[in-house]
Amino acid sequence: MKNDFLKLLKKKAQGYKVDEVVEEYVNDDQDGLKLIKRKVTQKYIPPDLSAAKLLLDLEPNISDMTDQEIMEEIKRLKAQIQEELKNGNN
């Protein structure tokens, strides 16, 4: 759950695109509702500075870490990058 939260926070901090769908229906006596118009617009959501600040606050401060903790964090980040490249995530 923590990883999902961090992914969403990172997405919000960086900005993202979303598809906005508007559909118009008409009431048809025989079939019920009938779709007559569908409009899909791609909308850009700009980066959120408060999300970026929160993300930075959640990241470990390297000056407070021991050498061992830094090496473990480097290994963790390398593994995370490899996993994201393997899955094709940005």
pLDDT tens per residue across span 63-78: 777 888 888 888 988 8
Residue pLDDT, tens place only, 13-63: 999 999 999 999 998 878 788 889 999 999 999 999 998 888 888 776 677
- Cβ distance 37 to 24 under 8 Å? yes
pLDDT band at 89 (very low <50, low <70, confident <90, very high): low
Measured distance CA(7)–CA(9) in Å, rounded: 5
pTM assigned to the model = 0.52
Residue 43's beta-bridge partner residues? 18
Q: Where are the domains of the chain?
A: 60-90
Tokens of 89: 């995530």
- Cβ distance 50 to 42 under 8 Å? no
- 90 has a pLDDT exceeding 70: no
Burial of 52 (0-12, 13-18, 19+ CB in 10 A): middle
